[in-house]
Structure 1
Amino acid sequence: MRLFLQRLGSAFAYTTVRQVKVHSVTVGLLYLTLVVAISAYVVGYEFFLGHGYQDTDVVKGTVSVKVKGTAHSACGQGLKDCVDGMRVWDTTDLVTKTEDSAFVTTAITNTIQNQTKCAGTHADPASPDTFNEDCTQGGEQACQRDRASWSGVQTGACLPPNEQGVRWCEVRGWCPAEDSEEKPLLLEGVDSWTLFIKLQVHFSKFGSSWDNANGTELVRGWNLFSVADILDKAGVEWNNETRQDGVDVLMQFALDCNLDNGQQCVPEITVERTDLASSLSKGYNERTAVFFSDAQNKYDDGLSRELWKRYGVKVRVLLTGSARKFDFVVAATRLGAGLALLSVATVVADLVIIWLLPRRKDYY
């Protein structure tokens, strides 16, 4: 019974912390320094400079690209539509677009083809069973009837040597095949073409929207960029090699939007080259074809096409970023969590008293 009463009495006991006032300049100065430092960090850096009083939302939006300009070239590559020895090109001729990218042609090759038989043109010793069309060494055995290869479907015949002494497998398909050694026709003036890049973003959490149209005003470096500007930002020199090979670049708009200041968004614009200039597949090119048949055929009887291989600048636009706006709950939560760090000052001061002061045994 006595043991039971003792335990019952301890259950209703109350324990409190006894405070000790320590007269120490060292501990007092350390404690005040920590309190000031933690308060400055929480209030000054985390809360104000770090925008701890604002809630955030991820950017959701769309990108549209419009290209304008005129270019010209010599009347080569079998071009028929020339005036005074010059062919003039516009954006309809030279630009292809998707929702968030644009391809601007800087050089072209043009091959007029019909469905018939001709010599293959591709030699690939690394994969002789699929794409190799060179039968100089292997003769008829190197060509297999009805085998799909690089330029078409082989007939099984090995054609006589050409002017260079090379024998090629005969193929059925679009003939003549492309000449990989043919130099593309360079287009002049494309570097001055302009891209109007329009960003439209929405912040669903805050019910706000923003765009960079700037009313109806075009601003160079804000929503209007020339091809030369974009390549310069990517560190790519505009020269004949760049025009002949093409280049693939990524243009990123990273938005930092402060909606407390009248929906102000500041994009950080960076441009990087994404193809490797030193790799086997450097540059960028696309192929398109224009088909003609019967009365529309301007070259021959039957089905024909103009095959265009276009080299140029591929600009891919990436939109990222976030928006910020004041929120009382967020501000109170972050400020309270930050000020809770003040307990660190008490812990450090207690450790100094217990472990470092000369009279520490008196306070333990």
Structure 2
Amino acid sequence: MKSQITNALSDFFFEYETPRQVLVRNRRVGVVCRLIQLGVLAYIIGWVFIYEKGYQSSDTAVSSVFSKMKGVGYTNVTGTERIWDVADYVFPPQGDSSFVVMTNYIITEGQKMGNCPELPGKHNCSSDADCEGGSFKRTGHGQMTGKCVNTTKTCEVLAWCPVEDDNNIPDPPLLMSAENYTLFIKNSVTFPLFEVTRSNLVEGIDNNYISKCLYDQEDSPLCPIFKLGDIVKMSGFNFETIAKVGGAIGIVIDWTCNLDFNVKHCKPMYNFHGLYGNPDEKDKARASVGYNFRFAKHYMEDKVQQRTLLKVFGIRIDIIVQSLARKFDIIPTLTAIGSGVGIFGVATVVCDLVLLYLLPKREFYKNMKFKYTDTQTQQDSESLGLDTGVYYTIEANARQVHGIDKSNDPDSEAGSTETEVSKK
């Protein structure tokens, strides 16, 4: 008993089992196998390692954006001159990653709370019966009082009077000078996995450089100061068209970094995209073209609350940061190699299917690949106390008795090599 346990442990620790292999000399199958293996190798090297960077781990950044506009605008409307600075034309003023630069407007000054007629077309009437007191119209300016104003043939409303008339948008835009405004962007990113922090004010971007530079895709691709007219142009818009009715532009700061190289090579790239309000839109009847909103400045005059209402048409700027940093890591490398080695098994499966089911000599290959045993004969030999050699002798005799050709026996010399006759 002790000897059996010792032998079992010895076999377990000091023996190695390997699968039986059969070498098949067939040109078509060999070519298929090598083509599949080359395809798998090209996939692993070309796609997994070169294109997808399967040998690296990746991380996205935590980002912060600060922006600042500079520039002065001038308007002269019906003889009234006015200067517009940053506090007047930027909404909101906090310097966030999303803001609006006003380029056109409709102003309604001296509004007071009171009763006044609606604009023609908002709620027309011919008598008081057409104006239901206390009701509202979604596109109207206030609450109807129940009276029809004969001079305008519109309902009277309780609202900020006089009501705003926004039917005529100024053309050309009132603030065409906005084309020369400049935008300064300050952006910092941190890749937590790699403990790397970068700023768009990279090496060489100092105060002296910033005071003189202006972004250019070819000459100054790292300058963080952008001219508003250039931003509009690079996003595919015409400035006068977008300035009239407004629109939206996305500035994408792309941080795609390979940290296997020096961190100084991790630099931002700027891209510009028109988001909506496309001037090339052919359907002139399309709803909600452009971008606008209303803004009111309230004040007191003679103890009466009044306001100045502006319908602002502007360019909405959205600063979007996208990031991806990669660095060599042994774990994804081994994973990619392991999966690639596993895919090599596809060649074996395909070639086995061709050999065993498609070729004319498939029965010959089956006998070569699979070893058949007679279970009943083996049990009889064990019951008689015969050793393994005697069992194989009995098996061979049984195969001869049943008329099995020795040339097809996988354990014989004739069955281990494809003959000239079988090749033909």
In the superposition, the TM-score normalised over structure 1's length comes to 0.79
Structure 1 pair 266–346 and aligned structure 2 pair: CA distance change class (3 A): farther
Aligned to 1:152: 142
Q: Deviations for 1:150-187, whole angstroms, at most 9, x for unmatched residues?
A: 222333222231xxxx3222223321110122443611
* 2:35 maps to 1:38: no
Residue 291 of structure 1: aligned partner: 298
Structure-1 separation of matches of 2:107 and 2:363:
94
Residue matched to 1:54: 56
Separation in structure 2 between the aligned mates of residue 266 and residue 212 of structure 1, nearest angstrom: 6
Which of residues 152, 160, 164 is equivalent to 1:174? 160
Output aligned runs, 1:1-364, within 5 Å: 17-76=19-78, 79=80, 82=81, 87-97=82-92, 99-112=96-109, 113-121=111-119, 123-124=121-122, 132=123, 134-135=124-125, 137=126, 139-149=127-137, 150-161=140-151, 166-184=152-170, 186-214=174-202, 215-216=205-206, 217-218=209-210, 220=215, 221=217, 222=222, 223-239=224-240, 241-263=241-263, 264-267=266-269, 269-275=271-277, 278=284, 279-293=286-300, 297=301, 302-364=304-366
Aligned length in residues: 325
CA distance in 2, matches of 1:334, 1:357: 35
- Give the residue type in structure 2 aligned to 1:91: V
Q: Letter of the 2:134 partner, please give it.
A: D
Letter in 2 for 1:351: L
Tell me the alpha carbon deviations over residues 208-239 of structure 1, each in whole angstroms, 9 at most, x when there is no partner: 22222334355615533322233223322222
Contact kept in structure 1, 2:178 and 2:228, CA below 8 Å: yes
Where does structure 2 lack aligned partners over 5 or more consecutive residues? 1-15, 367-424
Q: Which protein has the bigger strand share?
A: 1
Q: Cα offset for 1:47?
A: 1.4
Q: Structure 1 residues 307 and 19, CA, compared in 2 at 3 Å: closer, same or farther?
A: same
Unaligned runs of 5+ residues in structure 1 are: 1-13, 125-131
CA contact (8 A) 1:146 1:153 kept: yes
From the superposition, tell whether residues 261 and 176 of structure 1 become closer, same or farther in structure 2 (CA, over 3 Å).
same
Q: RCO higher in 1 or 2 (8 Å CA, sep ≥ 6)? A: 1
CA distance in 1, matches of 2:21, 2:106: 89
SS at match of 2:44: helix
The answer on whether the counterparts of 1:250 and 1:274 sit within 8 Å (CA) in structure 2 is no
SS at match of 1:260: coil
1-structure distance, mates of 2:253, 2:47: 26
- For 2:289 and 2:189, the matched residues in 1 are separated by 33
Pairwise CA distance, 1:245: 1.1
Contact map agreement 2:231 2:272 (CA 8 A) in 1: no
How far residue 268 of structure 1 moved from its aligned partner, in angstroms, is 6.1
Write out per-residue CA displacement over residues 260-292 of structure 1, whole angstroms, 9 at most, x where no aligned residue: 223415546240232475422111112222222
SS in 2 for 1:72: strand
Rate the CA distance shift 1:237–1:20 in 2: closer, same or farther, 3 A.
Answer: same
Q: What code does the residue aligned with 2:161 have?
A: C
Partner of 1:128: none
Kindly provide the amino acid, as one letter, of the partner of residue 120 in structure 1.
E
Deviation for aligned residue 1:122: 6.0
Once residues 168 and 27 of structure 1 are traced to their aligned partners in structure 2, the CA distance between those partners, rounded to angstroms, is 89
SS where residue 260 of structure 2 aligns? Answer: helix
Report the AA paired with residue 204 of structure 1. P
CA distance in 2, matches of 1:16, 1:337: 22
CA RMSD, 1 decimal: 2.8
In structure 2, give the amino acid aligned to 1:292: Y
Percent of pairs identical after alignment? 31
User: Match for 2:157: what amino acid?
Assistant: V
